[in-house]
Structure 1
Amino acid sequence: MLADTEEAVRGPDLVNAGSLGVESGAGSTPRRSPRLPIVERLDHWLRLLVEGAAAALVVAEIVILFAGVVARYVFQSPLVWSDELAGILFLWLSMLGAVAALRRGDHMRMTGLVTRVRPATRAFLEALAVAAPLAFLILILPEAIDYANEESFIVTPALEISNAWRAAAIPTGIALMMVAALLRLFRLPREIGWRPVMGAVVVTLVVAACFWAAGPWLKPLGQINLLIFFVGLVATCVFTGVPIAFAFALSTFAYLALTTSTPMLVMVGRLDEGMGHLMLLAVPLFIFLGALIEMTGMARAMIQFLASMLGHVRGGLSYVLIAAMYLVSGISGSKIADMAAIAPVLFPEMQKRGAKPGELVALLAATGAQTETVPPSIVLITIGSVTGVSIAALFTGGLIPACVLGAMLCAVVWWRYRKEDLSAISKPRAREIAKLFLVALPAILLPFVIRAAVVEGVATATEVSTIGVVYSVVIGLVIYRQFDWSRLMPMLIDTAVLTGAIIMIVGCATAMAWGLTQSGFSQNLAQWMAGIPGGTYGFLAVSIVAFIILGSVLEGIPAMVLFGPLLFPIAKAIGVNEVHYAMVVIFAMGIGLFAPPFGVGYYGACAISRIHPDEGLRHVWGYIAALLVGLFLVAAVPWFSTGLL
């Protein structure tokens, strides 16, 4: 998976709806190395420094952006420097979050192969997942330092300070990631022994030397190098468990360095461009908001109200699960957070009524794919940032398509539960339902507050998350009286870690997409896609198949950053509305992400539910078929995506 599912069980704050996955342990070996006190001490201080600073930056971003909203909307006196300062701090947050993610082993990675090999091979692959990123960091650090020096001559327009204050985040983060990777390499022998660690280091050095020596023979190959580096090398890295961001980065660096005359300073600039986009600042803020709604009891209140409305209907709690995922997804933007907020509340009662564990996890995974377009989805924000499509339009366009897929899932639920025995279930009284509605009302209002703020122009898609955060804090403290202060720091740290993992992928995929564009690949792809038989529907059909496959391998964010800038202009050129196209490819990726045996989202749902993946396999295919029917309806009827625009 893209990260260790055992890690996901710890709570909803660690990984996203879209970033699912975790690092797995390497398996036991008979010999373990002794503890190294110096390494442990250095790692301890690195953790305190990086995680403390990253958590502080999350708080600073919330304060700065919310202050900007208040100053502009309440006092009619905008803070002209707020966005600029937020952008500077965001790059530092992303880099420090990436450091913390590397130290904890939380960068997104595909571990499907790693978990299926014998222990000795698995140990080697776990070490390789650290050695390969370390090689890239060593190679890119001098270029990052040069890039920061070049940026020192630029003065920012609002704050009028040197841009080096911002650009220095890149070499600083890379240097700290090198330290974190080295410390992990020294800690790994305690778990797997020195032999696999040394083997991984030697293999990394040998492969790098072989590519370097082959440089003169590679340059004349032209676009064949795209297959060597962007297919062969990327696939090898991804399937052997190297974090996806570093698989992209290594392949791009090797391609540019060995087959072109492009200065590596340019690659650092593309990393900066991808990681520094201000629209992406919504990512950490919505991740933190998702954690808040679970911690303050808002999610539980919504679910209890829905259960009182539908719990006495055949399959009623399954309908509640579908509706609750729709509502909660619209607040948190994180699939792991969504599932972790809902499953512990609903599953015990559903099992008491006779629901099979496999049926529960199958439906949970299916609703994860269904709600991929419910705003404020991180995938929607990413699409807007890399393609230029209006995020407000994407937020509006995603509501009805998710309802269409939800209706298809409800049809399957009705068929499967049409003979359910409800003789022991009593219908709640109207007074009880009204009481639960009043309790849930502040929580139910949150998604409407968020969307109204964007539509009415009170705040941008980036700033609106701060309104949600402040709203949730006030509601949790004043109304629900449920605010666990001891969880606040871990939530801030987990927000920074997940942000670093996501933004690192965005930056590396941006550099990789730039390399593909410079090679002429995008023009060739455009010509081929434009010539597909069937016009717009032929183009949509090919896109659906391609993104289902991509979603099962790369997951939504890296796939969209890599291929969105290439395919969206083609879609527009042949007459496909960009919002409509976004809904189609997001659902296609979501189905790939949550469909076994390769979809890592399915295993994330299993981890959250504490249900073995094998139990859900027999039940999930009916829901996958329903999702495909819904996807074809959304693709065939553009109005579902554009009717509210």
Structure 2
Amino acid sequence: MIVSLAILPLLLLAVGTPVFLVFLTAVAATMMFVLPLPPVALQQVMFGGLDNYALLAIPFFVFAGELMNTSGIAIRLINWAMAMVGRVPGSLGVATVGASTAIGAISGSSVAAVAALGKTLYPKLVASGYGRERAGGLIAASGAIDIVIPPSIAMILYGLAAEQSIPKLFMAGVLPALLMAAMMGGYIIFVGWRESIPSEASFEPRVAWQATRDAFWALLMPVFVLGGIYLGLFSPTEAGGFACVYAIVVAMFIYRTMTLRDIIHAAGNAAMLSGQILIIVAAASVITWILTTQGVPQAIIEWINALQLDALTFLLVVNVVLLVMGCFLDPTSAILVFAPLLVPIAISLGIDPIHFGIIMTVNLAIGMFTPPFGLNIFVAQSVTGLPAHSLYRGVMPFTIVLVLALLIITYMPALSLTLGSGL
């Protein structure tokens, strides 16, 4: 079973096989040659893995992100962030991080943020003296915040895999996401001061007020969505549906930047992306089922207990493993495979599963822009035209900054647990 579920997937990933096919091939080989299981079990478990009401939140939030990009709401958020930063060293880079955080608070999609920022801010960053590599690296790395700040698709999946409260996970992600943004912003200010990168225009109340007016309805969207969840007015799934309706109403009747044709186009893009996510969910559910029925989680727990690792050492090992795996697997796949295995061990060591979910999410968010297969790198490459090796160099300083943020988040549980303690 080690060959079919461990070695075979690694070989398939090495040759560029799509992740869902990696999972299905590994499972099919295991069922045919290792375990006496009927083939029909593969189909039953796949469809059973999708039979969860909370999964409906994923296509809703993906659609909301597509509507935001198509209607120009993302551009308004970018302009608002630029107007609010004012005259600090490297102000345009700080505005890039702020804009990414604001976009993530609406869509929960790292890819959507990187695409929007790349098209709008990359030329300005290069012209401001950041250089092509650093500008591309900043755009690819800033999208990592969008996976952590609520509403987060990765946290929805973790909540399902680990059987944890999604509203609590959303609330737990707020302070860690802001810490990541603050540390990236601080690094950019330091680089801007050291290398004399010119700042943009100084803060002007009139300009800031105008930008806030233009982005007002866009800025209200996360307030309504997250406020509704935390006040108990609707579930995360219903919040996703509300976000879609809200985006359509604002884009069509307030900003008047979207037509019915645009909505249909955004729906098509959202359907494609949702399909890619959900087929991975279905395939990963079969691997989780096989591992669980064969007692693998229990065996791992016993092995960890035999090593007599304390909680702090265990978290350090988990961080190293997930940082490495994040270089090869997307967050969806990694969460669905590793959460069922690692969460029981974390609980047995006294680690809060909500805090552990944030640790997993931040790890895999960093993996979104680390070589060789970070998805944000490929998206940034397509919108900036930079070669992959240039982006690899550009993201390295931000990788170091966010790994430091990860260590703070890991060993300061209060960052993750304070806000959600009353839920």
TM-score (normalizing by structure 1):
0.63
Q: 1:300 to 1:358 in 2, by over 3 A?
A: same
Rg larger for: 1
Which of 284, 287, 295 is the aligned partner of 2:59? Answer: 284
Give distance in 2, aligned partners of 1:426 and 1:377.
33
Which of 300, 320, 326 is the aligned partner of 1:525? Answer: 300
Q: Does 1:622 align with 2:401?
A: no
Query: Residue 368 of structure 1: CA displacement?
Result: 2.1
For 2:112, the equivalent position in structure 1 comes to 337
Give distance in 2, aligned partners of 1:406 and 1:424.
19
Which of 434, 437, 445 is the aligned partner of 2:220? Answer: 445
Q: 1:520 to 1:428 in 2, by over 3 A?
A: closer
Q: 1:630 to 1:237 in 2, by over 3 A?
A: same
Which of 386, 389, 414 is the aligned partner of 2:189? Answer: 414
Give distance in 2, aligned partners of 1:338 and 1:419.
28
Which of 119, 125, 129 is the aligned partner of 1:354? Answer: 129
What is the DSSP-based 3-state SS (H/G/I as helix, E as strand, rest coil) of the residue aligned with 2:143? helix
Gaps of 5+ in 1: 1-225
Q: Does 1:252 align with 2:27?
A: yes
Which of 32, 37, 47 is the aligned partner of 1:272? Answer: 47
**Contact residue 234 and residue 247 of structure 1 kept, 8 A:** yes
Q: 1:368 to 1:251 in 2, by over 3 A?
A: same
Query: Residue 598 of structure 1: CA displacement?
Result: 4.2
The 5 Å alignment of 1:362-401 reads 362-401=137-176
Q: Does 1:469 align with 2:244?
A: yes
CA RMSD in angstroms comes to 1.8
**Contact residue 532 and residue 538 of structure 1 kept, 8 A:** no
Give distance in 1, aligned partners of 2:37 and 2:335.
25
Give distance in 1, aligned partners of 2:199 and 2:342.
54
**Contact residue 370 and residue 627 of structure 1 kept, 8 A:** no
**Contact residue 383 and residue 561 of structure 1 kept, 8 A:** yes
Q: 1:599 to 1:293 in 2, by over 3 A?
A: closer
Q: Deviations over 1:538-579 (max 9, x none)?
A: 111111111112211121111111121121121112100111
What is the DSSP-based 3-state SS (H/G/I as helix, E as strand, rest coil) of the residue aligned with 2:252? helix
Which of 57, 77, 96 is the aligned partner of 1:321? Answer: 96
Query: Residue 436 of structure 1: CA displacement?
Result: 1.4
Which of 409, 412, 417 is the aligned partner of 1:637? Answer: 412
Give distance in 2, aligned partners of 1:366 and 1:288.
23
Give distance in 2, aligned partners of 1:591 and 1:326.
15
For 1:403, the equivalent position in structure 2 comes to 178
The AA in structure 2 aligned to 1:564 is A
What is the DSSP-based 3-state SS (H/G/I as helix, E as strand, rest coil) of the residue aligned with 1:372? helix
**Contact residue 122 and residue 139 of structure 2 kept, 8 A:** no
Larger mean Cα displacement after TM superposition, 306-315 or 320-329: 306-315
Q: Which structure exhibits the higher relative contact order, with contacts defined as CA atoms closer than 8 Å and separated by 6 or more residues?
A: 2
The AA in structure 2 aligned to 1:335 is S
Give distance in 1, aligned partners of 2:399 and 2:28.
38
The AA in structure 2 aligned to 1:540 is L
Query: Residue 623 of structure 1: CA displacement?
Result: 1.1
What is the DSSP-based 3-state SS (H/G/I as helix, E as strand, rest coil) of the residue aligned with 2:208? helix
**Contact residue 343 and residue 609 of structure 1 kept, 8 A:** yes
What is the DSSP-based 3-state SS (H/G/I as helix, E as strand, rest coil) of the residue aligned with 2:209? helix
The 5 Å alignment of 1:551-570 reads 551-570=326-345
What is the DSSP-based 3-state SS (H/G/I as helix, E as strand, rest coil) of the residue aligned with 2:236? coil
**Contact residue 66 and residue 266 of structure 2 kept, 8 A:** yes
For 2:346, the equivalent position in structure 1 comes to 571
Give distance in 2, aligned partners of 1:573 and 1:482.
52
Give distance in 2, aligned partners of 1:456 and 1:604.
36
Query: Residue 423 of structure 1: CA displacement?
Result: 7.1
Q: 1:419 to 1:269 in 2, by over 3 A?
A: same
Larger mean Cα displacement after TM superposition, 410-419 or 279-288: 410-419
Query: Residue 247 of structure 1: CA displacement?
Result: 1.6
For 1:139, the equivalent position in structure 2 comes to none
Give distance in 2, aligned partners of 1:507 and 1:258.
22
For 1:309, the equivalent position in structure 2 comes to 84
Of all paired residues, the percent bearing the same amino acid is: 27
What is the DSSP-based 3-state SS (H/G/I as helix, E as strand, rest coil) of the residue aligned with 2:368? helix
Query: Residue 427 of structure 1: CA displacement?
Result: 2.6
Q: Does 1:592 align with 2:367?
A: yes
Q: 1:596 to 1:241 in 2, by over 3 A?
A: closer
What is the DSSP-based 3-state SS (H/G/I as helix, E as strand, rest coil) of the residue aligned with 1:458? coil
Query: Residue 398 of structure 1: CA displacement?
Result: 0.4
TM-score (normalizing by structure 2):
0.94
Give distance in 2, aligned partners of 1:531 and 1:640.
31
Give distance in 2, aligned partners of 1:549 and 1:433.
42
The AA in structure 1 aligned to 2:274 is T
The 5 Å alignment of 1:474-553 reads 474-553=249-328
Give distance in 2, aligned partners of 1:359 and 1:249.
38
For 1:583, the equivalent position in structure 2 comes to 358
Give distance in 2, aligned partners of 1:578 and 1:428.
42
Q: 1:284 to 1:251 in 2, by over 3 A?
A: same
Query: Residue 422 of structure 1: CA displacement?
Result: 7.2
Give distance in 1, aligned partners of 2:123 and 2:153.
29
Query: Residue 490 of structure 1: CA displacement?
Result: 2.5
Give distance in 1, aligned partners of 2:167 and 2:13.
34
**Contact residue 548 and residue 593 of structure 1 kept, 8 A:** no
For 1:231, the equivalent position in structure 2 comes to 6
**Contact residue 552 and residue 595 of structure 1 kept, 8 A:** yes
Gaps of 5+ in 2: none
Q: Deviations over 1:84-138 (max 9, x none)?
A: xxxxxxxxxxxxxxxxxxxxxxxxxxxxxxxxxxxxxxxxxxxxxxxxxxxxxxx
The AA in structure 2 aligned to 1:464 is A
For 1:295, the equivalent position in structure 2 comes to 70
Q: 1:629 to 1:420 in 2, by over 3 A?
A: same
Higher helix share: 2
Give distance in 2, aligned partners of 1:438 and 1:470.
21
Give distance in 2, aligned partners of 1:499 and 1:424.
39
Query: Residue 419 of structure 1: CA displacement?
Result: 4.4
Aligned length: 420
